[in-house]
Every structure is written in C-alpha cells, then in structure tokens.
Chains A and B, each alone.
Chain A
Amino acid sequence: MDILYKILIEPFVFMGEAPDLLIQTLWEGLVSGVLYALIALGFVLIFKASGVFNFAQGIMVVFAALTLVGLYEKGVPAFLALILAAVTMLVLAVLVERIVLRPLVNQPDIILFMATFGLTYFLIGFGELIFGGNPKEMITDALFLPQGTTELDMLGGRVRLQHLDIAAAVIASIMIGLLAVFFSKTRIGRALRAVADSHKAALSVGISLNQIWVIVWFAAGIVALVAGIMWGARSGVSFSLQIIALKALPVLILGGFTSIPGAIIGGLIIGVGEKIGEFYWGPLVGGGVETWLAYVIALIFLLYRPQGLFGEKIIERI
C-alpha cells in the first residue's frame, strides 16, 4: 500500500502544497516542448513533401549552428554569418536533392531513410573536419538574444523565467506562424501541400517535384538553424545535440508524421509530461527517467491512436 500511496497520492499532494514549483516545472516543460516541436517541425516538413523520414535532421541542427558559430569565430559579423549559414543550408538542400534524392526516387521508404543515415555520417565527419569536434559557445550576445532571469512572485512562491527561454518560445511561435502562412497563402506553399497529397497528381498539373524538394529541404534547414541557435544558447553547440534531436521522434509519433499542428502539440505534451514525470515521479525509481519517459508516453498514445494524434487515418486495402 505504501508504494501505491507514493505513486498515486504523494506527488499530487506535493503539487498542491507547492503550486509555484508546479508552475515552474510546467514552464520548463513548455519551453523544452517548444524546442522539441521546432526540431520535429523539420522532420514533418520533409516527410510531408517527399515521404522521406529524414534522420539527418538532428545533424542538420548541429551543422547549421556550427556553421554560424564557426563563421563568427573567423571574424564574420554575426548577422552576415547568420545569412551565410542560411545560404549553406540552401547549398546543402540543392546537393541533397541532386545527389541523394534524385537517383533514389521511387525507392521504398526504408532505403531513403537509410540514405539519410549516410548523409548523417557524412555531415558528422564533414562538420568535425571543418569546425573541430570541441563544443562551442553559441553567440547569444552578438545575435541580441536576451539573457538573465525574471522572478515572479506568485502563489506564495517564486517562479524563475529565463529570458532566453521566453525569447525561444516567442521566436519558435513566430517561426511556426510564418510557416503556417507560407503553407496556406503562397503559391509555393500550395504546391507543397499538393505534393504532400499526391506526388503523381502534383506532377500532372505541372509542379516540379525536384524544385519542391529543394524548397522543403531548405525550409527544414532554416528550421534547423533556428533550432540550433536556441538549443545552442541553452546547452552549447556540440555534436551531442544530435542525441537531443532523437527526442523529436516521440514528438513526431505523438503528433503524427504528417501534421504541423501535431508536431507542436506533441512537442508540448512530451515536454511537459517529461518534466512533470521526472520531477514528481522520477525520484521513486532513482531519477533519470527523462531519457525514456517521452517514448513511453508516445507509446501509450500510439496504442490508442496508431496514426498519432493528428496523422492521416491509416486505411488498409488489399
């Protein structure tokens, strides 16, 4: 009975006793959720338009951030470095489309998945060769990212909000809003949605698939750059960020591979669930549950909705 009490009642009592801690935990969960969502967004963009499960998204985040910091260290002004990093992602998108995607068109999904593995390896080697394997500091000051914290008095306690986290949430929201407008209002955005619906139908009305692929890989590269800046500002730019990108996978399956709102809501659920679980239930089993809790949450959701929360309904025919 004691163990049941500890699992089922004690954490909730604790939540009620210290609401400020609960709010703090929720806030941290939301912020990391937004950042997960940002990485997941890169996956979704590419998956929707080309059906490729892009494993290289994680390394693209690292690569974009490294390019930015590396250029800045060479003496390039920060905003020029930002533009150059974006150009690098464009070049990468063109090269990937030319060298990897075009010859592999019409292959099974798993082969394309594998090809992005090859890309990941290549980018790891290439990135380390050029920028070195050591972790770097993100240039927060030069990019005018705010630092410091605000402490709010509420509910009989204090809640600390990092300015950086607030900026991350705002920038991520703007980014998502821009993408939503881009997808629904512009010509290219409509073409992207057409391709996502059906490759063949899109081709038949004169949409160039190759062009679209370059555009989505570029868009995913930009998302990766933003995610890289935000994650880099929190935990430094190093190749271990790539592992954090794996956290975007449960977000993806939770939200559904093909849904942008799904990526966002999934990110928030995973971020909050993970932090709450770690903080309130983690100590019962010795802590460190953060590494797998996200996957288990996603797994439980999947058992009820195999296509994710917002994914397209799976219809099977013989």
Chain B
Amino acid sequence: MLYREAGQFKTSYVADSAIFPLRQDRIGIGLIILAAYALAFIGNSFLLQAVMIPFLVFSLASIGLNILTGYTGLLSLGTGAFMGVGAYACYKLMTAFPEVNVIVWIFVSGFFSAAIGALFGLPSLRIKGFYLAVATLAAQFFLQWCFIRIPWLVNYNVSGALDAPLRTLFGIPIVGATATPQTRYLVVLTIVILLTWLASNLVHGRIGRMWIAIRDMDLAAELMGIRPLQTKLLAFAVSSYYCGVAGALLVFLWYGGAEYDVFNINQSFFILFMVIIGGLGSLIGSFFGAALIFILPIVLGIVLPAILSPFGISVGADVIEHLRFMIVGALIIFFLIVEPHGLARLWQIGKQKLLVWPFPY
C-alpha cells in the first residue's frame, strides 16, 4: 500500500526519462546500497568472503556480458578469457609500477581487455548468432593458451600462477594476504556500484539506444544511419572492459592469486548462464542471475544435508555435489519454462502487481 505512484507528477522531460521514476524506487535503491555497506560491518567473514565478494564480481562480469549479448545481441563465449586479460594486465601493471595505487591499475587493466575484446569483435561484422558464439570460442581458447605459454605474463615465476602482492589504500591493505574480507568487500562494492551506475548511464543514453537498434535489426539500424562497425566494436570494447575489471577483482580481491585455469571455458558459460537466467538486456537482471547461479549452489550445499539427514539418509560430499548439479540444471530449465525473459521480468511483473495491490482493478 506504500508502493503507489499516485501524487507523483512528472513536470519535465528529465523527470519523464528518469531511470527510477518512482520515489519509492529511489528510496529503495538507496536503502539497498546502505544495507550493502552496512553488511561490511555486521556480516561475518564467511558471508563476505565466500558469498558477497564473488557475487559482486560475477555481477560485474554479467553486466559486461549483458551489454554485449543482452543489449547488442552479439552472443559471446569468450567472457572467461576477457576476464583473464584484465587480471593478467592488472598483475603486470601492479608489479611493474608498484608506486601507483592498485585501484588505478584495476580500472586501467580493463582497457587492455577492451582492446583485445574489440580485436576479437571484428568478425562480428560478418558473422551472427551461434556462428559468432563459436567464433568467440577462438578468443577463449587462444587467450587461454597465451596465459599458459607466455611466462612473461606472470613475470617468469616458477609456479606460473598469479599471486597478489601487498597493496594498500590510505595505509590499509586491500590486496594481498593481510587484507581483511571487510576492506576487500568495501572496495569491490564501491567499484561495482560505480561501474553499474556508469553502465546504467551508457545503456539508457544514445549509445545504449544504438546498441539496442543493432540488436533488434542490424540492417534496419544501418539504414537509419547507425554505423554497425563502430557500434558493435564499442559494445565489444565496453563489455570486455567490464569483464576485465571483474577478472582483476576476481583474482586480486577474491581469490588472492589464481592460475590460468580460473579463466577457462566453464567460466564463460557460467557468466552466460547468469545473464540469460537473470534476463537479457537488464542490468538488475545481471545481479539476480549472479545471485541465483552463484548463491544457489552454496545454499543447496548447506540445505541439502539438513533436509536429507532427518530421513536417515547420510550422504557424502560427492553425492551432495552431484545432486547440486542436478538441481541447478533442473532449476535452469524450470525458470526458462516459467519465465523465458529471466528473473528481471519476474521482478517487473512483481512490481506492477504491487502497484495495484491489494485491489487489482
């Protein structure tokens, strides 16, 4: 009953095109951000380290892929590799210029990823749909091969893995073994909020409309004066930028060191799951998708033994793991059947219903 648009009049074009036209929505988003920051101080380190940080990192990567697949309609399976480019670039920059703050390098490393992404985006001019998806697999496998075969990328260390050296912000360690989950969570949260805000502005502006036009029908868009080359490559670059930053965050603020195998093909599929389950062409859907696909298996891992044990069925960790796979697979199909447009659409429907609740007439 609190959620009503009655009495909120739009008196200017700016108000009409606002992203959150309802006052309640604006208050809600503010509360969510406040709660997210408050969580850093009340959540325990398991929640922050194993749930919230990866959730935010995957959300960022999903936003990246969503810009490409959801908004521009170009299917890509190279996300994992583009994340890897960001992580390796960040590592090289961090170790080559230790005096510059690591936050700067996290943002800069995205540009390397963007350049590589734009390069592998070139075939998208001629090939479309699933053909393009397979073409981006070339990027995935080629880049992954580079991560293994070029020891320069990891400064010739013997393990061949990325490690996180100690880096501080205002004297507090944020990267490295001594950084607490709390500070890392705060850094990740701030970066994700900042980049989400930027993405929101991009997709709601002229550039976003160009992307959507290309998605809906690229031939028609071209006839209307949208240049497909620049628009598609821009989508690839921006998308890869987000993936690159997400990759850098994943290695240095979540794992604290990683091998090339983190950026394998399964990572790409994983992010694609999130985007499709969350809702193609929706930023909030990226968060929902990441939450469902990443947090659901964790919850199942905790809940399943609790459900099964009262029945006298004691099962090993491996059986739980298998059941988890089965349930996640079944749920993906279930969600697709219930709402093929993703969780974002469900959210929208829910909000519409709430607006007229409890008298839907």
Where chain B touches its partner, the secondary structure class is helix
CB of A73 within 8 Å of the partner chain? no
Cross-chain contact B326 with A121 (CB below 8 angstroms): yes
Q: How many A-B contacts if CB must be within 8 Å?
A: 140
| Most A Cβ at <10 Å: residue of B128, B265, B332 | B332
Q: Mark B294-334, 1 if CB is under 8 A from A, else 0.
A: 00000000000000000000000011011111111111110
Q: A303 touches which one: B123, B130, B332 (CB < 8 A)?
A: B123
CB of A107 closer than 8 Å to a CB of B: yes
Q: Does B98 make an interface contact (CB < 8 A)?
A: no
Q: Beta-carbon contacts of B86-125 to A below 8 Å, as 1s and 0s? A: 0000000000000000000000000000000000000100
Contact check, B337 vs A103: say whether CB atoms are below 8 A apart.
yes
Cβ A318 vs Cβ B220 within 8 A: yes
Q: What residue of chain B has the Cβ atom nearest to residue A285's Cβ?
A: B149
Q: In angstroms, how far is the closest chain A Cβ from the Cβ of B298? A: 16
How many residues of A are in contact with the other chain, CB < 8 A? 51
Q: Are B336 and A252 closer than 8 Å at their CB atoms? A: no
- Bound state CA distance, A318 and B223, in angstroms? 10
- A257 on the interface (CB 8 Å rule)? yes
Given the complex of chains A and B, what is the CA–CA distance between A103 and B309 in angstroms?
Answer: 34
Tell me, yes or no, whether B269 is within 8 Å of chain A by CB: yes
List residues of A (261-297) whose CB comes within 8 Å of B's CBs: 285-286, 288-289, 291-292, 295-296
**A53-B130, A296-B142 given as contacts; is B135 within 8 A of A118 (CB)?**
no
Specify which chain B residues have a CB less than 8 angstroms from the CB of A308 in the assembled complex.
131
B68 contacts chain A at the CB level, 8 A cutoff: no
A306–B132 CA distance with the chains assembled, in angstroms: 9
The A-contacting residues of B in range 260-284, CB under 8 angstroms, are 265, 269, 272-273, 276-277, 280
A299 within 8 A of B: yes
Q: Pick the contact of A299 from B75, B138, B325 — CB < 8 Å? A: B138
Please tell me which one of the listed residues B149, B318, B330, B336 contacts residue A288 in the complex, with CB atoms under 8 A apart: B149
Q: Is A100 an interface residue (CB 8 A)?
A: yes
Query: Does A203 reach chain B (CB closer than 8 Å)?
Result: no
Interface-lining segment among A17-25, A124-132, A169-177: A124-132
Collect the chain B residues with CB atoms within 8 Å of residue A249's CB.
Answer: 134, 137
CA–CA, A302 to B137, complex, Å? Answer: 13
In the complex, chain A residues whose CB is within 8 Å of the CB of B135: 253, 295, 298-299, 302
Closest to B338 in A: A103
B271 shortest CB reach to chain A, Å: 12
Q: State how many angstroms separate the Cβ of B71 from the closest Cβ of chain A.
A: 14
Contact between B138 and A298, CB atoms less than 8 A apart: yes
Task: Assess the A302–B329 pair: CB atoms within 8 A.
Answer: no
The answer for the CA separation of A285 and B150 in the assembled complex, in Å, is: 10
Question: Which residues in B have their C-beta under 8 angstroms from that of A155?
Answer: none
Judging by beta carbons under 8 Å apart, are B127 and A306 in contact?
A: yes
A306 CA / B329 CA spacing, docked (Å): 33
A107 smallest CB distance to B (angstroms): 5
Q: Which residue of B lies closest to A118 (CB)?
A: B332
Of all chain B residues, the one with the shortest Cβ separation from A302 is B127
Q: Which residues of B contact A124 (CB under 8 A)?
A: 325, 329
| C-alpha gap A159/B277 in the complex (Å) | 52
CB distance from B263 to the nearest CB of A (A): 13
Minimum distance in angstroms from A116 CB to a CB of chain B: 9
A118-B336, A125-B326, A303-B127 given. 5 additional CB < 8 A pairs?
Answer: A114-B276, A125-B325, A125-B329, A295-B142, A302-B126
Interface residues of A, Cβ cutoff 8 Å to B: 53, 99-100, 103-104, 107-111, 113-115, 117-126, 128-129, 133, 243, 246, 249-250, 252-253, 257, 285-286, 288-289, 291-292, 295-296, 298-299, 302-303, 306-308, 314, 316, 318
| 5 A/B residue pairs, CB under 8 Å, sorted by A | A104-B337, A122-B326, A125-B324, A308-B131, A314-B128
Q: Across chains A and B, which 5 residue pairs bring their CB atoms closest together, nearest first? A: A125-B325, A121-B329, A122-B329, A118-B332, A295-B138
